[in-house]
Structure 1
Amino acid sequence: MPNPTTHPAAAPSVPPPDAAPLLDIDRLTLHLPGTARPVLAEVSLRVGPGEIVGLVGESGSGKSTTAKAALRLLPEGARAEGTVQVSGTDVLSLNGAALRAHRAGAVAMVHQDPRSALNPVRRIGDFLAERLARSGLDRPAVRARALELLGTVGLPDPERRIRQRPHELSGGMLQRVVIAGALAAAPRLLLADEATSALDVTTQAEILALLRTLRDEHGMGLLFITHDLQLAAAYCERVYVMYAGRVVEEQPADALFSAPRHPYTRGLLACSPDLAEAPRVLRPIPGRPPSLADTFPGCPFHARCAHADDDCATWTPAPAPLPGGGSASCRKLPDAPAPTASPTPPSPSPSPSPEKRQP
């Protein structure tokens, strides 16, 4: 797992208190036919203008499903409760042309595997032209804009790349192409779903630096989804931690890393290697994450939690505010023992300079 020292430190960009959020998910609950429990349960999440917000958790915790709700990309047969607003628009109420316009404009998503987003037999220029189809530009202007987008994401020799097909580009190059496609409609909100997981560490650092630069230049809000808590702590300004379809903790990134409050968050950090420390025995979280066939009336983490008691099995999860901001959903939060060792993320190294960038 990448160490946070390989990534640029998060530059604070907290929106003013009165700034309207770009993404505002309030108590979103998602039911699917044939499941014993909701896929998402009472999920609340906000991303402000120019803010980088992390969403972390194990596979199957509901991270991608939460992000896709911003595009109303819900599983077949899903029944949603709660609200999802993007720039003040109620996304769950959109249909037809209004929904297509929303997906083509206000919000864009970058997926984990760029090859799955590209037609393998079509050229890169065709992919970008499709993204620009609603722009009203004529054909020469579309081509010029496609070249401009490839230049914006740092892809070398755009004139050549625009004529190539996906198999002729490396993974890092393809991720830049997909990001260029996401920027085609100038979205205000960008959803990055494990967008760097399949890349080597050097290319990963370059993509992360690129996303931050685009945030700084265009004022976009960025929801950064990852399973890597240390990466989120180094890159994001605030971090939400999900478990079994619920948000169990939310804090500013530095506080989450140095003083995690929920037992699950502490467990994730305890089983994460840290290259900045001396070798130590990793402590995996016992048990396994619950499946959608598992039911539990109380805290979803109680069966794996070392601090749980019988009352936790029936306690209804509810977020409790934390003194430094944020919240955590734990019944024993007030008397929970402090971490035995509060890791402090070391000062990150600078990202590779543009002159030394290796695509």
Structure 2
Amino acid sequence: MLLDIENLTLLLPGAARPLLADVSLKVASGEVVGLVGESGSGKSTTAKAALRILPDGVTAEGRVRVDGEDVLAMTGARLREHRARTVAMVHQDPRSALNPVRRIGDFLVERLVRTGSTDRRDARARAVELLGSVGLPDPERHVRQHPHELSGGMLQRVVIAGALAAEPRLLLADEATSALDVTTQADILALLRTLREQRELGLLFITHDLHLAAAYCDRVYVMYAGRVVEEQQAERLFGHARHPYTQGLLECSPELGDTSRVLRPIPGRPPSLADGFTGCPFADRCPHTESACETWQPEALSLQDGGTAACRRVHDRRPAAEATGRTR
């Protein structure tokens, strides 16, 4: 297994609840795994754990393995090498990753030299090659340009090229398409899929769009309040969501061409780090909650057709498609 996170818990001093609680997640080589949830659910924190980029003062419990090696035990030169060569991250806003007064070629050359992928003499030629590999039409011209001369979609390709400079085995895409228009988003998704197939990359795809994750990924994890509340194969999740939170996300998401369906927002708000709870973190927003839910300790319960859901009533209720009559 390329990425194997097992029972990861992050405790932050002064917080009423863990930043992450018993998070387990796996990504295999050549697999696209989605990570979905509202803002503040812990998606980015989970991804950054693969790089051991953790908040100051946090206490980590559990294990994070990348290619069989414990990331939480890495220090010094080994950790720097891991961050430079094994795992790469693509963020939502490409402009924040680029110095506005330096050329695109400078960004790529610096990354190539720093990761040891090539020496400075050959780095520029390799930079041109990288820009061509991510679909930019005139890479020789683009290496001489500044970030303000490129569109958002072109800059996202530049950042992806930088992430691929050291040929990592695992790519973390943190809302990498959410700031783009629909057409450009489709181009970037197609590019990531092609790169995954060509390089056998493992891809952790973080998004707030459950429909996109279900269409694009092989498997999907749904997070809420620092916990994984459901995990299923993507083709089953859309029509057979079992956790009330996953069902709620689907019910408040619009569908193209379906103007008759009434969107049902999830009532309330997700808990902050200042909000403590003794049982299920979704109990105060769940339409199926019972008094026992307020003391039930969440655990991942196996589903009959594969996957898991952290709901004490998961075996008492019908899947979302049966309950609502919806099909994909």
The C-alpha deviation readout for 1:250-281, integer Å capped at 9, x for no partner, is 00001110110000000000000011323322
- 1:338 Cα deviation after fit: 3.6
Question: Structure 1 residue aligned with 2:28, among 48, 53, 61?
Answer: 48
Deviating above 4 A after TM superposition, structure 1's stretches of 4 or more consecutive aligned residues are none
Match of 1:242 in 2: 223
Task: Trace 1:24-39 onto structure 2 (pairs within 5 A).
Answer: 24-39=4-19
Task: Trace 1:252-331 onto structure 2 (pairs within 5 A).
Answer: 252-331=233-312
1:26/1:42 contact within 8 Å kept: yes
Q: Which amino acid aligns with 1:217?
A: Q
Match of 1:204 in 2: 185
Match of 1:99 in 2: 79
Task: Trace 1:144-155 onto structure 2 (pairs within 5 A).
Answer: 144-155=125-136
Task: Trace 1:1-359 onto structure 2 (pairs within 5 A).
Answer: 21-133=1-113, 134-135=115-116, 137-339=118-320, 340-345=323-328
- 1:215 Cα deviation after fit: 0.3
Structure 1 runs not aligned, ≥5 long: 1-20, 346-359
The C-alpha deviation readout for 1:68-108, integer Å capped at 9, x for no partner, is 00000101111100000110111011111111000001110
For normalisation by structure 1, the TM-score amounts to 0.89
Q: Which secondary structure state, in structure 1, belongs to the residue aligned with residue 131 of structure 2?
A: helix
Q: Which amino acid aligns with 1:289?
A: P
- 1:55 Cα deviation after fit: 0.2
Rounded to whole Å, the distance in 2 between the matches of 1:51 and 1:261 is 23
- 1:140 Cα deviation after fit: 3.5
Q: Which amino acid aligns with 2:71?
A: V
Q: Which secondary structure state, in structure 1, belongs to the residue aligned with residue 50 of structure 2?
A: helix
Rounded to whole Å, the distance in 1 between the matches of 2:13 and 2:110 is 35
Rounded to whole Å, the distance in 1 between the matches of 2:166 and 2:327 is 39
- 1:220 Cα deviation after fit: 0.4
- Across the aligned residues of Structure 1 and Structure 2, the Cα RMSD in angstroms comes to 1.0
Rounded to whole Å, the distance in 2 between the matches of 1:238 and 1:110 is 20
The C-alpha deviation readout for 1:121-179, integer Å capped at 9, x for no partner, is 11111111121113263333111111110000001211111011111111000000000
Rounded to whole Å, the distance in 1 between the matches of 2:86 and 2:150 is 29
Aligned identity (percent) is 71
2:117/2:165 contact within 8 Å kept: no
Aligned pairs, number: 325
Rounded to whole Å, the distance in 2 between the matches of 1:237 and 1:136 is 30
Q: Which secondary structure state, in structure 2, belongs to the residue aligned with residue 104 of structure 1?
A: helix
Rounded to whole Å, the distance in 2 between the matches of 1:231 and 1:344 is 16
Q: Which amino acid aligns with 2:96?
A: S
Rounded to whole Å, the distance in 2 between the matches of 1:242 and 1:34 is 22
The C-alpha deviation readout for 1:20-61, integer Å capped at 9, x for no partner, is x11000000001122111010000000001000000000000
Q: Which secondary structure state, in structure 2, belongs to the residue aligned with residue 105 of structure 1?
A: helix
Rounded to whole Å, the distance in 1 between the matches of 2:325 and 2:220 is 17
- 1:343 Cα deviation after fit: 3.5
1:258/1:342 contact within 8 Å kept: no
The C-alpha deviation readout for 1:162-209, integer Å capped at 9, x for no partner, is 011111111000000000000000000000000000000000000000
Q: Which amino acid aligns with 2:324?
A: A
1:29/1:43 contact within 8 Å kept: yes
Q: Which amino acid aligns with 2:327?
A: T
1:259/1:342 contact within 8 Å kept: no
